[in-house]
C-alpha cells in the first residue's frame, strides 16, 4: 500500500502526496485557513462517499443488476451523545455522518435494501465504525 505524505506549506495549507497525485488540504477562511482546498473533514467524507459508491457498484455489477450510477451526499455534524439511542457513549458529543444515497437504475425493493446493507460493508465505513489504532512516531530537527 502506498504511503500518504502530508507536508506543511503555509498558514494551514498542507500538500498531500499519494503516489503520483498531489493536492492541497486547507481550512475555510472562517476557521483561519485560506480556503485553498477542502478541509480534512471534507476529505474524510469524500473518502467515505467514494468508497461506499464503489463498493455498491462492484456488488451490483457482480449481480448484473441494472445500476447506472450512484451519487452520495454526505453531512457531518456533532451531536449530543444522549441524542443517540444505540450508542455506547452517553455523555459529551459524538460525530454523526449521514449518507444520502441516490441510485440511478432499474432495481426492485429487495435489491435496493441489499445495496443499502452493502453500503455498510465499505472498508472506509468499517474503519470509521470499528476500533482503530493510530501509532504516532515523532522525530524532530532544527533549522541549523
CATH H superfamily, domain 39-129: K homology (KH) domain (3.30.300.20)
Other beta carbons within 10 angstroms of residue 15's beta carbon come to 14
Helix 40-62 × helix 109-119 angle, to 10°: 140
Per-domain residue ranges of the chain = 1-38, 39-129
Contact between residue 33 and residue 12 where contact means Cβ atoms under 8 Å apart: yes
Tens place of pLDDT per residue across the chain (144 aa):
679 999 999 999 999 999 999 999 999 999 999 999 999 999 999 999 999 999 999 999 999 999 999 999 999 999 988 888 888 888 888 899 999 999 999 999 999 999 999 999 999 999 999 988 999 999 998 876
* φ, ψ at 48 (rounded to 5°): -65, -45
* φ, ψ at 112 (rounded to 5°): -60, -45
Gap between the Cα atoms of 39 and 45, Å rounded: 10
Amino acid at each position: 500500500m502506498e504511503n500518504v505524505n502530508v507536508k506543511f506549506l503555509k498558514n494551514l495549507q498542507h500538500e498531500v502526496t499519494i503516489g503520483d497525485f498531489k493536492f492541497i488540504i486547507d481550512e475555510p477562511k472562517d476557521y483561519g485557513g485560506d480556503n485553498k482546498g477542502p478541509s480534512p473533514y471534507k476529505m474524510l467524507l469524500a473518502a467515505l462517499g467514494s468508497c461506499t459508491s464503489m463498493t455498491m457498484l462492484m456488488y451490483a455489477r457482480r449481480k448484473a443488476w441494472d445500476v447506472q450510477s450512484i451519487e452520495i451526499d454526505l453531512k457531518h455534524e456533532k451531536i449530543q451523545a444522549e441524542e443517540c439511542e444505540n450508542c455506547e457513549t452517553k455523555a459529551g458529543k459524538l460525530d454523526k455522518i449521514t449518507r444520502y444515497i441516490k441510485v440511478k437504475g432499474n432495481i426492485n425493493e429487495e435489491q435496493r435494501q441489499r445495496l443499502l446493507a452493502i453500503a455498510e460493508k465499505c472498508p472506509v465505513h468499517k474503519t470509521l465504525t470499528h476500533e482503530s489504532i493510530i501509532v504516532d512516531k515523532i522525530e524532530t530537527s532544527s533549522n541549523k
